[in-house]
Amino acid sequence: MGKASYKASIALFASTPGTSMALAIGKLLRVPLGKVRLERFSDGELRAQLLDDVVGKDVFIVGPTHAPTDNLLELAFMADAARGGGAKCVTLIIPYLSYNRQDKHKPGKPLSSRVVMDLLARSGASRVIVVDIHAEHTLEHFGGLEVLHLSAAPLAAAYVKKTLKKPFAVASPDRGGIARAQALATLLGASDVVFFEKSRHEHGAVKSMTTATPEKITGKHVLFVDDMIDSGGTLVQAAAVAKKAGAKTVSAFASHAVLSGNALKNLQSALSGLILTDTIPHVALRSKQARVTVLPLAPLFAQTIIDLMSSRPSKARAKSPQKSRRTR
């Protein structure tokens, strides 16, 4: 399929928080953003309607699902509307997938990740595209959906290669993030990842942060890698431990800028550099912030759409025995 012909068969839509990303993707693909009417019933419930024809189309809907929960529902409703409207295929592009932190059964606690993925899996989509989700093993909860799990690490590595001074060390602020940090370290040509041990209070705040190998940090420019920053507590505490261990500078890369409360301000004081992506359209990141770099992901999503729509086999479409697969 040539570029011109696939463009005609794409319909691109966005939920409210996905609009800026979808516009950027649409600009790269030269595909207009579909019209949506979003209203509320008098009690506040959402009422969504796709205003453009989707019959026989490959529909792509962009929608990060960070709080409030209406963001999640808006995306699910749009997927159902696209399916009901006769779309050939409905793909959800979810730059940030929320509710992924309760990923294991614990007494009295829900498996929130599964509840949310179940909802999306039953919403009418046949494919989802996600980025650096917190707990990769939860992707199985998408059931029969085709899942493309993209990584922002190559983009981060390209930026870090130009900016991070040597000697450097790549670090993970907790055990759960070692593989993520290792992936970036490998792209940077570093063999080793320094990992920290983190514990939290029952209410979620970081209780302790330690590393068993402080000598690997001494005299180094340390780059922490994490999937997301919420309160910022993890990275603020990790930076303090790294500085105490004699790090020359401490910077961090995280894919998802949730940045609740004073996270951004606290991180700007604690770090010499913070690299984020635009998976969440955080208000504060619309303007230039000291020591903060935001890497745009629209080119990655646009290329993924091109690969999917192209007739030539691509990495994104390669047959794999696994239902979900890491691409890029």
Q: Which residues bind ligand R5P (CB under 6 A)?
A: 134, 173-174, 176-177, 206, 226-234
Query: Could you tell me which of 177, 141, 93, 136 has the C-alpha nearest to residue 325?
Result: 136
Helices assigned H by DSSP within the chain? 3-9, 19-29, 70-84, 112-121, 153-163, 178-187, 233-244, 263-270, 298-309
Q: Is 317 helix (H, G, I), strand (E, B) or coil?
A: helix
* Residue placing its CB nearer to ligand R5P in the complex, 164 or 206: 206
Distances (CA, A) of 136 to 140, 171, 180, 227: 9, 19, 10, 11
> Which amino acid, 120?
L
CA–CA distance, 322 with 112 (Å, rounded to integer) = 23
Question: Considering the complex, what minimum distance in angstroms separates the CB of residue 40 from ligand R5P?
Answer: 31
* Residue placing its CB nearer to ligand R5P in the complex, 74 or 174: 174
Residue 70: count other Cβ atoms within 10 Å of its Cβ.
Answer: 18
Question: Using CA of residue 71, residue 73, residue 78, residue 79, what is the dihedral sign?
Answer: positive
Question: Considering the complex, what minimum distance in angstroms separates the CB of residue 136 from ligand R5P?
Answer: 12
Question: Considering the complex, what minimum distance in angstroms separates the CB of residue 30 from ligand R5P?
Answer: 37
Judge contact between 259 and 231, C-beta under 8 A.
no
- Tokens 């602020």 appear where? 173
* Residue placing its CB nearer to ligand R5P in the complex, 34 or 173: 173
* Residue placing its CB nearer to ligand R5P in the complex, 71 or 234: 234
Catalytic site residue 104? Answer: no
Question: Considering the complex, what minimum distance in angstroms separates the CB of residue 293 from ligand R5P?
Answer: 18
Q: Is 191 helix (H, G, I), strand (E, B) or coil?
A: coil
Give phi and psi for 218, each to the nearest 5.
Answer: -55, 125
Question: Considering the complex, what minimum distance in angstroms separates the CB of residue 207 from ligand R5P?
Answer: 11
- Give kind and range of the element (H or E) at residue 8: helix 3-9
* Residue placing its CB nearer to ligand R5P in the complex, 82 or 280: 280
* Residue placing its CB nearer to ligand R5P in the complex, 114 or 180: 180
Judge contact between 10 and 86, C-beta under 8 A.
no
Question: Considering the complex, what minimum distance in angstroms separates the CB of residue 166 from ligand R5P?
Answer: 26
Helix axis angle, 19-29 to 298-309, nearest 10°: 50
Q: Following DSSP, what letter does each residue of 10-29 receive, concatenated? A: EEEEE-GGGHHHHHHHHHHH
Give phi and psi for 49, each to the nearest 5.
Answer: -145, 130
Query: Could you tell me which of 269, 202, 195, 199 has the C-alpha nearest to residue 234?
Result: 199
Question: Considering the complex, what minimum distance in angstroms separates the CB of residue 205 from ligand R5P?
Answer: 8
> 48 - beta bridge partners?
38
Catalytic annotation, pick one of 165, 166, 198, 319: 198
* Residue placing its CB nearer to ligand R5P in the complex, 267 or 298: 267
Residues tagged active-site: 198
